[in-house]
Amino acid sequence: MKIFTWWEGATIGTSLFSAMKGSKVGEDHMGNIYYEGGKDVHGNPRRWVIYNGPNDASRVPAEWHGWLHGSLEGPPESHLPPPRIWEKDYIPNQTGTAQAYRPRGAIESGGQRAMATGDYEAWTPDA
């Protein structure tokens, strides 16, 4: 199944390509592995991530996101200040789950939408 299911993590082909064509730069606290190798059409280094688990871009920490997009030259550990007390821990993307945000009145949460107030005037072709 690993040969075809790219959404469940790296396929065998991706893993082999990364091992042969790229050099490992680092690993984050979630176990994602980051690679660099070759140049793109603009001469910038190609960078990619092999996820430890489902492929979900929200699983890339902010510091590694900056590295992937070329904002940092070297691995993020060498460029980051110490963590701040107000920084929150990672929460996976909740879209499509029971924990997803649903505003007041959302159909999925069984709510009723509020009626339009007096500041709304429907468009008519006569106006």
Q: Does any domain span residue 32?
A: yes
Tell which wins on pLDDT, 119 or 123: 123
Q: Does any domain span residue 41?
A: yes
Contact 11, 5 (CB under 8 A): yes
Judged against a pLDDT cut of 80, whether residue 115 lies above it is answered with: no
Q: Does any domain span residue 126?
A: no
Q: What is the pLDDT of residue 20?
A: 63
Query: What are residue 81's phi and psi, to 5 degrees?
Result: -75, 165
Q: Does any domain span residue 115?
A: no
CA 72 to chain centre: 18
Q: Does any domain span residue 68?
A: yes
How many structural domains comprise the chain?
A: 1
Distance CA 59, CA 91 (A): 8
User: Residue 74 sits in which domain range?
Assistant: 6-109
Q: What is the pLDDT of residue 17?
A: 56
Q: Does any domain span residue 118?
A: no
Q: Does any domain span residue 124?
A: no
pLDDT tens-digit readout, 14-33: 655 556 677 888 888 888 98
pTM of the predicted model as reported, rounded to 2 decimal places: 0.61
pLDDT tens-digit readout, 78-111: 677 777 899 887 787 888 888 888 887 777 777 7
Q: Does any domain span residue 39?
A: yes
pLDDT tens-digit readout, 42-68: 888 888 888 887 778 888 888 898 889
